[in-house]
Structure formats: C-alpha cells, structure tokens
A and B are shown apart, each in its own frame.
Chain A
Amino acid sequence: MEVLLFLIPVALGLGALGLVGFLWSLKSGQYDDLEGARWRILDDDDVARPDGEASR
C-alpha cells in the first residue's frame, strides 16, 4: 500500500494542473465570447497560403 503515498500526490497534481489550466483560460478571457469562439476555430487566416496568393 506504500505505493499510495506516491500515487495520491500524482493524482492531485494532475487535478491541480487542470484547475490551473482552467483558471488561466478564464483569466485570458476565453469564456468572454462563447458564441464567437466556436466559429473562430474555422477561420484559417493565420495560416500562410502555400502559393502565397491572397485568394483561393
């Protein structure tokens, strides 16, 4: 059972990582516009076009 002494901190650490991630995303304003966020992912303006032309 000594393995628990090792596993519990690991489990808690992973959980805390998730919490820190959530608080960071909240602080950086990622929940301010839930409506827009689901569309922004489809927008690939930030990707350079391979042929260097402005439009398809």
Chain B
Amino acid sequence: MTVHMRDWDAFVTPAADGAVHMDLAVEGITCAACMGEIERGLTQLPGVLRARVNLTSHRLAVEWDAAQTPADLIVETLDRMGYRAHPFDPAAQRAREDRTGRELMRAIGVAGFASMNIMLMSVSVWSGNVTDITDETRDLFHWVSAMIALPAVAYAIRPFLRSAIAAIRGRRMNMDVPICIGVSLAVGLSVIQTLQSQHHAYFESATMLLFFLLVGRYLDHNMRGRTRSLAENLAALKAEVAARIAPDGSVREVPLSRIEPGDRVLVTAGERIPVDGVIDQGSSEIDQSLITGETALVAAGPGTRVYAGTLNAGGVLEVRVSTASGATLLDEVNRLLEAAGQAKSRYVVLADRAAAMYSPVVHAAALLTFLGWTLAGLGWQPSLIIGISVLIITCPCALGLAIPAVQVVASGLMFRAGVLIHSGDAIERLAAADTIVFDKTGTLTLARPELLEPYAAGDADLALAGRLALSSRHPLALALARATDATHPLPGVIETTGAGVEALHEGQLVRLGSPAFCGAPEHRVADVLSRHGDASLLALRIGEGPARLIPMRQSLRPDAGPVIRDLAARGYRIEILSGDRPGAVEAAAAALGIRDWRAGMTPADKIARLDALKAEGANVLMVGDGLNDAPALAGAQVSMSPVTAVHLSQAAADAVFMGDALAPVADALKIARRARAAMMQNLWISVVYNLIAVPIAVAGFVTPLVAAAAMSGSSLIVTANALRLRMGSGKPHEPR
C-alpha cells in the first residue's frame, strides 16, 4: 500500500492559526544527528511551521499549513531521508500532554520551594534556640514559615489526598492514608505551637516529607509513561489502519477508529486483516495462527468469517466489517477476558500490604504514648504533642520511597533487557511466579516458517523454486525465497489463488504450490506428514518430472532450548498450552524437553487449566501472543507477550518483550526476583528505622531537627539501596 492512498484528513488535528498538526512515530531515530536532520529537512518544505522530534519517545510533531503542503509530501520527505514514519490515530492516542506528570512536577516545585525557604527560617530558629534568639524573632520566623507552609501543603498534598480518600471510600488501606494524617497533624500541631509561642514547630518536616514523597510518586509515574508511549509507538508502527473501499470504488487508508460496521475493507495478499468481518468477494487462504495457535492455513471464500489479526496468505479479499454477533471466537474471548481480568485486581500490592500492617501499629503507638503521658501526670496538651510527634517521626517517608524507587530501577533494567513493563506491581507478581505456562505458536516459535531440511547451496531445483517463490506473497513462499536467498524473480509468473504459482523456464513449466497443485501423490504427502506432524508442505514440479515435497515449519526461537533448560534448572515448573495440532506441539515439547504439554486448547480450556494450577497453589506466569491466549494472559497471576502479539493480548499482558530471543523472559524473572529482595530490604530498613526512632519519640525527645534528619536520612538510605540493584550480579543481555 502506498502512502498516496492514505486518507490524511483522518490523521491530522487542527492547530493554531489554521494550521494542522500531526503526530508520527518515526522508525530509525538513533541519535541526536537524526533529530537535527529530520527537523532541518522538514522545515525546508514550504508551509511547514514547526517540526520537533522528541528523542525520548521517538516521536515527531509537525505543524504545517495544509493549503501549501500535502501530508504525504511530509511522509515522503522522511522516507527519502531514510526514516519510516507512521502517523498516530488521533482517536487512539492518549492526550498529547501528560497532565498527571505536569501536576506532580508543579507540586514538586511548590513543595521544594516551600521546604527550602522554611528550612532557612528553621535553621535560624534551631541555632537561635541554643544561643540568644528573642521570643519575638522566633515567633516572627514561625509565622512566616506558617504563611509559606499552609498554602504549599494544601497544594502539594492533593495527589495523596485524592488517593487516600479513594482508598478509605473503598474500605481499603494504602500508604497515602498515614501520609495524609501525618502531614496534616504536623502542620496543625505547628500552627498551635506557633500560636502559643513555643520553641518548636514542624513546618519544615511536613513540607520536606511531601517533597520526598512527590519525587517518589513522579518517578513511578514517569516509568509508566515511558512504557506507555513506547507501546503506543509500537501500535502505530504496526500500522493499525485499514483500506476502506468507498461507495464510488476508490480505496483509502484510514485509521481503525474511523471504520464502522458495514464498511467494506480491501485486504491484499500477505497483509494482516485489520477488522472482524465476513468475506464479501475473493478467496484465499488464511493464517489464523495468531488467533487460534493453529499453524495450518485455512481456505476462505465469500461468506467466511475472518478475524482481525489473521494473515491473508493468498488472494485479494474484500471484507465487510461486522459487529459482534455474540457467537464468534472474538466474543467468547471478550467474555472470558472480562471475567479473567478480575482475578488480577484481587492482588494487593506490597506497599499497601505494608501500609495495612503499619498504620494500626503506628497509630496505636501514638495513642498509647498520649494516654501513657497523661496518666503519668504530664497534662493533656504536652502529652498530645508527644503523641503527635510519634506520628510525625514514623510518617512513612522511607516507606513511600522504598517500593517506587526499586520499581523505577528494576523497570529500567528490564527495559535494557528488552522488556516493557505495564505496571509497577507486575514486578512483584513476576517475582512470585513459580510456574511458567507457554503458548507455542508465536511464543516458543517464531511467527515465520523455515525449511525443515536446510538449503544446500548446490540444490539447483530448490534455487529455481526460490526464484519462483519471489513472485508470491504467500507466507510459505516468502519463507522459501528467504531461505534460498533468491534475488532474481522468474518472468511471466501466473498465480492461481489458493493453489500456487507457475512459470515457463527454459521450455519447461515449473510449478510451486500446494501438493495437489503439483500433482503429488497423496500417500507421499501422508508419509511426510506422519514423520513431521508439525510441518506445512510446499510442492515443486519441474516439467513432467515427479513432484518434490518441501516440508517447512515454524522454527523455535533461537535460544528457546537453553532458556527453557535454564528456567527448569532454576526450579520453575514449565508447561505448554497450545491451540495447535498435537503433532506440532509434541515436536516442540520434545525439542525443548518439556514433559507437560496440552494441544488443541480453546481459550476456555486454557483458563480452566490455569485455574487448576492455581488450585494446586501455583503462581502462574503465562507467556502467550494469540487472541486465544488473551483471556489466559489476563487470568494468570502475571503474564508476558512478545511484541509480535495481537493488540488485545498485549493489552492483557503485564509486560511485552522485544526481539526474536526468549531470553528477555528469563531476564525479567531474574530482575524481578532481585527487585523483590531489594523491596523487602527497604521495608526492613524502614522497620529498623522505626524501632530506633519511635522510642525516642515516645520518650518525648523529638525536636524538629531530629525529625528532619531522621526523615531525610531514611529516605536516602532506601533510595541508595534501590540503586544498588543496578550494580548487582549479571548484567542483562542487550536487546536484540
């Protein structure tokens, strides 16, 4: 499909001054030089107002005057410079601006400003308290601090307050509840102390606490944002577009969001079908491996139902887009997905579990301190001050950083290993996994088929077949052409849809295609298939000679064997659940030394098997790519899918891994286990810190100076411990 056929109006959004705006994901940006080259090249075009490359997210934002320059000129210019650009579907792309990130940054700025200026006052008061500060000066300093702290805290606490209120409404406990209580009490107590002209106030503790916690929150947010924007790029690179046939017969490429039921869509040979629908015209063979896991091609003609994500192997198809009828595979998958997704939401993240244990203990300790000092005859007000100071010093500053800091470092390590994590708590769930369930097709194997018997350089017949194969878009033909390194196509090739290709070569008719097309006897086909249950067959016939069968199959990922053995040696229980034929699954399982395998599984069967494993007490990591895996991916405790997976599966999985190797799966598990260890260490550091700090607070010795030193000290220790993860043993593989 050429760019000229694209309906550009669907991809642009209006910008200021009558110009139009388009966001593109650009392939091939590797360094700063590319950035300058693209921006220079585009701004030289007439009418281009602004071209800006974002090197972090590999995106390009262009604004131009649509009257002067057509959009395809921009894409063509990029193409000429060697960058393939894919426009984002404006409907599918999230808001152009990252609102939450900016809100957190503003809050960090405000809290940072407040804590630094209040510290200016506080240091003066602290040093004045031991020398000769007058009461008036101290009061003035405390009042100025209050004037800064009150609005700053009211502004910067909002992200925590929202989450705390949501948690209390849902009758849950999370870390934000004690944070809000601690900060509010610290500020409230300080105002009372100031009113009473006391020697101490805790304004700097409250603002500094918020500053540290906001930094932790921002890091966490940034990690998710980075994964999300790269995932959106991948979706755009996979060109989630469809060629819609207009009523007048013209064809234009539009984003999927603009396709409506009843539209007709053109699918050329070798393309993925972008929509669910019914074939209107044309016949072909469909590769459904992404949907069912079944590797054999299925014949399709007018009236056949086709699903988004399947590959059109043979002829040109016109597909009428249908709505969900409630009885198709996709509907079943969607139903199962809804049910399965709830299993995951039941998981309580480590931080919240820690908070659930931590808050009752701390709040009880504060109450007992208050009651104890009152009974000891100190009077209710000084007792209350000591009780609140217990809360201030135990406020979960370290706890709030303990887990996000580790998650950020771990997700960075995973990113380098070629794994994109969708959520921070997936790391915890990955660490807990003890059983790994693999899908076969597309997960353990690569999506493209390869020759069963390697191509020998002197094999002239096969070389001829390779040249003939160049003229077909059929996946098996493409694979044969690649395997034989064919470069010169034969002239005058005729393709018979769903059968094969033929051409005259040196006076002889050469045919390449299905065994029937080449007249191969059935007993020989059955014989080859009985030896290689998982093979797909191509046949070659030169002149009137006997047909030669060329068995092909999807090969295992290059490092699948060592990775599986390594995982097994590390004590993981490994299983294969596949929708493919038993013969194909058995061969793969035997090659990898996996004893537990099940073939011909439907999506519901896979869920049932996962439930059985869960009932045995296993923590399952599901790795799969097909539409038929999506419910299982959502239902397993944790899941991963390769970057080649269908959109629905990628969305259901917790992590996506890149490249042809299976090693990222093993690396992710390793990193997750080390990250979990670091999280536990950090939680223990917080516990130890509290064991030291609480007695001091209960005894009534907590001055604001002690509180400030203790808080920042514990925050720095847990952050440093998280960074230690980076230095740990074994650097993960570089991606690809």
Question: Which residues of A are in contact with B by a Cβ distance under 8 Å?
Answer: 1, 4, 8, 11-12, 15-16, 18-19, 22-23, 26, 31-36, 39-40, 42-43, 45
Contact = CB atoms under 8 A, between A and B. Distances in A.
A33 B113 contact: no
Contact of B148 (A12, A26, A42): A12
Nearest to B140: A4
B53 A36 contact: yes
Interface in B270-313: none
B116 interface: yes
Question: Chain A binding site: helix, strand, loop or mixed by DSSP?
Answer: helix
B54 A19 contact: no
B102 interface: yes
A26 B57 CA distance: 18
Contacts of B55: 33, 35-36, 39
Interface string B74-117: 00000000000000000000000010001001100110010011
A8 to B, nearest CB: 6
B562 interface: no
Nearest to A8: B144
B36 A43 contact: yes
B102 A26 contact: yes
Given A26-B102, A32-B98, 4 more contacts: A15-B117, A32-B56, A33-B54, A40-B35
B40 interface: yes
A31 B56 contact: no
Given A26-B106, A36-B35, A45 B53 contact: no
B104 to A, nearest CB: 10
A19 B117 CA distance: 11
B144 A1 contact: no
Contacts of B31: 39
Contacts of B57: 33
B67 interface: no
A36 B109 contact: no
Contacts of A43: 32, 36
A11 B120 contact: yes
A31 B110 CA distance: 16
B113 A15 contact: yes
A18 B113 contact: yes
Contacts of B36: 43, 45
Task: Please provide the 10 A-B residue pairs with the shortest distance between their CB atoms, ordered closest to farther.
Answer: A39-B32, A36-B55, A35-B56, A35-B55, A19-B113, A33-B54, A22-B109, A15-B117, A33-B56, A43-B36
A23 B106 contact: yes
8 contacts: A1-B134, A8-B144, A15-B116, A15-B117, A32-B98, A40-B32, A40-B35, A45-B40
B109 A19 contact: yes
Interface in B46-64: 53-57
A22 to B, nearest CB: 5
B198 interface: no
B61 to A, nearest CB: 10
A16 B102 CA distance: 19
Most chain A CB within 10 A, of B55, B120, B148, is at: B55
A15 B356 CA distance: 39
B32 A36 contact: yes
Contact of A42 (B32, B53, B116, B144): B32
Contact of A26 (B40, B56, B105, B113): B105
B137 interface: yes
A39 B38 CA distance: 14
Contacts of A23: 106, 109
